[in-house]
Structure 1
Amino acid sequence: MSSPRALRAATRRIAPGLAVSALVAITAQFLSDHYGAPAMLMAILLGIALHFLSEEGRPASGIDFAARHVLRLGVALLGLRISVDLLSSLGAGFVFLTVLGVAATILAALAAAPLFGRERRFAFLTGGSVAICGASAAMAIAAILPRTDRSEQDLVFTVVAVTVLSTVAMILYPIVAATAGLGPVVTGVFLGGTIHDVAQVVGAGYSVSDQTGDVATLVKLIRVSLLAPVVLIAALVLRAQGSGEARPPLLPGFVIGFLALAALGSAGLVPEGLREAANGISRWALLTAIAAVGMKTSIPELLKVGRPAILMLAAETAFLGLFVLCGAMLLA
């Protein structure tokens, strides 16, 4: 157990960088609230502009702490948004379509990676973020992938790209649904099953109708619930492929937290007030973490990602959109 003196020393070491990361997150949320810009995108862009702070002595440790440990806290707390009631209220057909869309998108990304000249680890990062829940999924997946000298750059690229694509989808997909003549429930399934980030799903769904918004949010949360099993399966695969100390934990701690909180929430053991508070903490933790990841990112290194990676992520988004749209129309 750490002594009080060691704890105080650790706190002093991480406090400056953690405070800067939190300040960037608050600024990003302010811009989002007042100008409608996606908070995650603002946090990462502001963080990139402050990259020099991660290279200096005092803030560096706290920035790294936020990018790693605060991130895991935010992902774990997402578990309280999940309950088994979500599955029973939508219907087996649409639930199966949602799960199948997630699996098919990840597998398609892995299969297409050689065509775009990218490694399968990068394909899993982008495919998982598109298939599940955008920036939050990208950060959770990045937490279990073996670290390389390009880990931060790949994560930042993925977060920026999926946030931009999600915003475009929020505007475009309701028009697609109206043109296809989809009803309110099927439109909700389409929007919730394809748009990357929760905020954009809510915006797109309720711009159509209250019923569509409710269904879209429900489907989106089902996708979020798949984050834990996807990360667990990936961790098992990576563990089997690794050796010695290179192996990741059999079950990452933040995934255990996610599953435990989801179980408690499903059992009705978490008061609604506590659930709402945890959701707020989770959002701020993820926003702080992505700001820190931005500060660890160099623009020259980020530009090395290249056009094939952009095309790859756009193709994954198009694949998921067409898959869910066709499946929803068939089920309807």
Structure 2
Amino acid sequence: MPLQPADLTPAPAADRLRSLIPRLFPGVMACAVVAAAAGFLGEHYGAPTLLFALLLGLAMNFLSEQGPCGPGIAFCGRTLLRIGVALLGLRITLAQVVALGWGPVLLVLLCVALTIALSMLAARRLGFQGLFGLLTGGATAICGASAALALSAALPVHPQKERATLFTVIGVSALSTFAMVAYPMLTQALGLSPRAAGIFLGATIHDVAQVVGAGYGISREAGDAATLVKLLRVAMLLPVILLAATLTRRAAALSSNGSSAVPGEPAGARPPLLPGFAVGFALLVAVNSTGWVPGWAQAAGSEASRWCLVTAMAGIGMKTQLRDLATVGLKPVALMLGETLFLAALALVLMRWLA
């Protein structure tokens, strides 16, 4: 049957995609350039790449205020961020969790749960919303800047959300770098065995890269233990995202007289119980646990996740005014420092019985 003229008409979805790409391209390219520069600086100076991406993005925030880059920057700060979080699932398998034994698993569960609970309580006592404590506590207890970005994506839209996320990323990156230097010396002063030192480092240092550097700086045994414990903390990202999504739904459900409790969302809108990127994260963990994913695919997915997160961080930095961060005050700093010290002390106490 010959094609009719109507059959040759492009589908509406194709039309939207064709019109969307030119709008997004300038901003996406700007974020990609910043991400590449941040990667270069991170590799040559040994500092967190995400932190460099944030600082460079802040320096170029004028791009989001004027010109054609705004839509692409917003795309990187939201959609690309969620893709990067989902791809984190390729770092973890259930076999890695089982290999640790029940002691370190229980230790991580208690550390994450108690740190986040205390953070939410302390945030309220300091005059902040409990969700700010969930953001900072989750970043401290799970996997640093990556967790901060993932939780931010799951939390409701709020005028101060970007500022809170940026402050959390800056704080957790600085504290993680300090911990990478100080904690190995602490384990030596306490006379911990290589395995015990690795468990402590994996349970307390914020970012994955710093955990690896600190652990293998002691010994191979310590590095292996630190990496596995850290990956277990990364696996806790899924239930904590579920908690954040549940709290967001509850806030939306509490809206009265037809108005939304979540600024920026239409009245009556309720976010999904589990965001799509969290479902993707869980599915990739499950698939990765089958052993069907070849090593090169795991490495490629992990690298793609890293670059998505770096590019997203550049976009978030571009969307934020630096003068807004200067007004956070001392209370948020004290909150994050207290969370870090509490996590380290709790891990040392629990290790006496669980590791």
- Name the TM-score, length of structure 1 as normaliser: 0.97
Note if contact 1:182-1:329 (Cα within 8 Å) is conserved in structure 2: no
Q: 2-side partners of 1:153 and 1:37: how far apart?
A: 22
- After superposition, give the CA deviation of every residue in 1:202-236 in whole Å (9 maximum; x if it has no partner): 01101100110010000000000010111112212
For the pair 1:37 / 2:47, whether they are aligned, the reply is yes
In the alignment, is the contact (CA less than 8 A) between 1:186 and 1:329 conserved in 2?
A: no
**Aligned counterparts of 1:123 and 1:187: Cα–Cα separation in 2:** 28
Q: Say whether residues 1:49 and 2:59 are aligned partners.
A: yes
Q: What is the identity percentage for the equivalent residue pairs of Structure 1 and Structure 2?
A: 48
2:335 maps to which residue? 312
The separation in 2 between residues aligned to 1:59 and 1:240, in whole angstroms, is: 35
Q: For the residues of structure 2 that align with 1:135 and 1:148, how far apart are their CA atoms? A: 19
Please report how far the alpha carbon of residue 5 of structure 1 lies from its aligned counterpart in structure 2 after TM superposition: 3.1
SS where residue 269 of structure 1 aligns? coil
Give 5+ residue unaligned stretches, structure 2.
1-10, 254-266
Does the alignment pair 1:87 with 2:97? yes
| 1:246 Cα deviation from its structure 2 partner | 4.1
- CA–CA separation in structure 2 for the residues paired with 1:6 and 1:150: 31
Matching residue of 2:262: none
Q: Which structure 2 residues correspond to residues 186-201 of structure 1 after superposition, within 5 A? A: 186-201=196-211
Measured against aligned partners, the alpha-carbon deviations of 1:30-89 in whole angstroms (never above 9, x if no partner) come to 001112221111000000000111111300000000000000000000011111111221
Q: Tell me the residue number matched to 2:74.
A: 64
Counterpart AA for 1:298: Q
Using the alignment, how far apart are the partners of 1:110 and 1:3 within structure 2? 43
One-letter amino acid matched to 1:144? A
Structure 1: 5+ residue stretches without partners: none
Task: Find 2:153's aligned residue among 126, 143, 163.
Answer: 143
Match of 2:297 in 1: 274
| Corresponding position of 2:116 | 106
2:284 to 239, 261, 267: 261
The Cα shift of 1:261 comes to 0.5
Q: CA-to-partner distance for each residue in 1:159-218, whole Å, 9 max, x for gaps?
A: 010000000000000011111111011101100000000000001101100110010000
Which has the larger displacement, 229-238 or 181-190? 229-238
Give the aligned partner of residue 239 of structure 2. Answer: 229
Are 1:166 and 2:189 an aligned pair?
Answer: no
Q: Which residue identity does 1:174 align to in structure 2?
A: P
Residue 115 (structure 1) shift: 2.8
The one-letter amino acid paired with 1:43 is A
1:297 counterpart = 2:320: yes
Q: Deviations over 1:251-281 (max 9, x none)?
A: 1000010001100001112121111110110
In structure 1, how many angstroms separate the alpha carbons of the residues matched to 2:243 and 2:284?
19
Distance in 1, matches of 2:151 and 2:89, equals 15
- Paired with 1:2 and 1:153, the residues of 2 have a C-alpha distance of 37
Equivalent-residue separation in structure 2 for 1:3 and 1:86 (angstroms):
42
Alpha-carbon displacement from aligned partner over 1:132-151 (angstroms, at most 9, x marks no partner): 00111101111111111111
| Corresponding residue of 1:131 | 141
Matches of 1:213 and 1:95, distance apart in 2: 17
Query: 2:352 & 2:213 partners in 1: Cα distance?
Result: 22
Q: How many residues align?
A: 332
SS at match of 2:334: helix
The within-5 A match list for 1:168-247 is 168-243=178-253, 245-247=268-270
* SS of 1:305 mapped into structure 2: coil
Q: Which position in structure 2 is the counterpart of 1:96?
A: 106
1:15 corresponds to which residue? 25
Distance (Å, rounded) in 2 between the aligned partners of 1:24 and 1:113: 33
Query: Matched residues in 1 for 2:49 and 2:213: separation?
Result: 14
- Residue 3 of structure 1: CA displacement? 3.6
Give 2:287's aligned amino acid.
L
Structure number having the greater helix percentage: 1
